[in-house]
Amino acid sequence: MSERKLRPARAQLKAAVAKLCLVARIVASIRVGHGMPCPYETFSERVDCNVPTSRRAPKVRQMEVYESDRNLDVAYDTNRVKRALICCIFLWMATLSARATDDSLTKIAGDPACARGLQWIDKSSAWVTDQQIRLTEIPAPEFDETRRGEALKQLFAASGFEVREDKTGNVIAERPGSDPRSVVLLAAHLDTVFPAGTDVSVKRNGGRLLAPGIADNGVGLASLAGLARALAESRMRTTKTIVLVGDVGEEGEGNLRGMRALMDSYGSRLAAVIAVDGPSTDHITTQGIASRRFEASVTGPGGHSWSDFGAPNPITAIARGIVKFSAVSIPADPRSSYNFGTIEGGTSVNSIPSGSSVKVDLRSEDEGELGRLEAALRDAMQAGVKEEISATRSASDALQMNFRSLGTRPAGKLADDAPLVATIRNVDRYLGNRSRLERSSTDANIPLSMGIPAVALGGGGRGGGSHTLDEWYDPAGRELGLRRLFLTVVSLAGVER
């Protein structure tokens, strides 16, 4: 390295050492103060330094005390200096590390190829929002994501990616790197929670876009389309292969089947997985919340509401079970939750139903607690059936209950100091973005449960009302999310010059 390049580093080192020496001198000069022992104080005789001299012990005694205690004071002060020096050294090292990180990202962002990609992002926010509207207006209920996937496939292909669809329905776009054995994968789910027939046309209210699914996960899909275009515009070459995926089966009863298939396909080649879900840029989701989903169904003889009054009612049995489970204590730590999402049954208002069912979602940060909740749910629903039979004085087998699993999401956690987290933190620091570590249930659950580095990130902008018909999204500031994703991917994949 040339002498000219070494000068700034030497100057920083010299300034840091000077600061350390100054701190050491200040600490060493402090003899008496708050929380410090008095220089005239011993273990056998305590002397208040604020008491007038005339009321203190004789001068000779004071000198003897001072001489005997001086060594203790020197040792005390020496330890304080050492501790202060150690703290200063750590602070100095952290400062140098942060500067090195900033310098590294400045170098990456300043690379001509990377700069082209960032410039495209800064001037193309409106294009990304247009694609988001287009994709959102294509219905994609559970198990019916094909049409939306086709639209995303066209966007990927237009950006020069090699695009294919796997047997599960995932739309996969690859941008080969020089090392095909190492892959950085980003996925955004195609499906929504809304059933077929839901009006998903996008309306505007001031700066907001209103439509079911506009934020979850119209933002994620549009972000991948924008990221693909930015990479194409950059014309950069990377070491690792970059894979962008519109995956199926994230919502409802999909049981993360799309992400499970991706893990089977790429497996040990995965260096990092990022689920792009929703808009928020103030979090890094590093912990996957475990969940179990069930359907409890009850069947019975049915009958006429008048002539067969008194026969056991499956809907009432399920209602009794719901009430009983709702009385179960749910801990705050580990954080846990439950939700009775849908209830079905019956054919008409004047018919005793012959069957009824309820779908339930259980979640917890702890697998053990989740098991306890599942057991409590089974017991409560069975107790509801027995109570209904007893209330109607029916035969013990008049009602039958069936319990069926709809899906299981495993838990997982990425270490707070993992390289993937460090990379995102560095990008956030460079962009001036403040973020926190979060936990949620996303596509990232699957790789996390397998020990594969994974997180979930937002695509930028602001949103709200997810999973409701009043869902909204504001694209103002979405460039931050796109720049964050772009720099993270580029840092992970490695730019080749």
Given 347, 376, 409, the domain boundary residue is 409
Please tell me whether residues 274 and 159 are part of one structural domain. Answer: yes
Given 110, 133, 166, the domain boundary residue is 110
Number of domains in the chain: 3
Q: Which helix (H) or strand (E) holds 439?
A: strand 436-440
Please tell me whether residues 96 and 219 are part of one structural domain. Answer: no
pLDDT at 206 over 60: yes
pLDDT of residue 19: 58
- How far is residue 489's CA from residue 487's CA, in Å, rounded to a whole number? 5
Please tell me whether residues 129 and 222 are part of one structural domain. Answer: yes
**CATH number for the domain including 337?**
3.30.70.360
Per the DSSP assignment, residues forming a β-bridge with 173 are 163, 244
pLDDT band at residue 425, thresholds of 50, 70 and 90?
A: very high
**CATH number for the domain including 267?**
3.40.630.10
Please tell me whether residues 275 and 325 are part of one structural domain. Answer: no
Q: Which domain holds residue 456?
A: 117-289+411-496
Sign of the dihedral defined by the CA atoms of residues 207, 211, 217, 221, in that order: negative
Distances in whole angstroms, Cα of residue 176 to Cα of each of 18, 160, 172, 379, 439 = 49, 11, 12, 53, 31
- How far is residue 450's CA from residue 405's CA, in Å, rounded to a whole number? 22
Please tell me whether residues 252 and 127 are part of one structural domain. Answer: yes
Please tell me whether residues 217 and 185 are part of one structural domain. Answer: yes
Q: In 61-205, which ranges are E strands?
A: 162-165, 171-175, 179-189, 203-205
Given 75, 110, 145, the domain boundary residue is 110
Please tell me whether residues 378 and 422 are part of one structural domain. Answer: no
Q: What is the pLDDT of residues 112-168, one digit of tens each?
A: 999 999 999 999 999 999 999 999 999 999 999 999 999 999 999 999 999 999 999
Distances in whole angstroms, Cα of residue 214 to Cα of each of 217, 244, 279, 462 = 6, 20, 10, 11
18-46: burial string, b at 16+ Cβ within 10 Å, e else = eebeebeeebeeeeeeeeeebbbbeeeee
Q: What is the pLDDT of residues 36-93, one digit of tens each?
A: 444 333 333 344 444 444 444 444 444 454 455 555 555 555 666 566 666 555 555 5
Residues 418-423 have a mean pLDDT of: 97
Please tell me whether residues 351 and 448 are part of one structural domain. Answer: no
Please tell me whether residues 375 and 487 are part of one structural domain. Answer: no
pLDDT band at residue 26, thresholds of 50, 70 and 90?
A: low
This prediction's pTM = 0.79
Q: What is the pLDDT of residues 372-392, one digit of tens each?
A: 999 999 999 999 999 999 998
3-class secondary-structure state, position 187: strand
Please tell me whether residues 9 and 33 are part of one structural domain. Answer: yes
Please tell me whether residues 154 and 302 are part of one structural domain. Answer: no
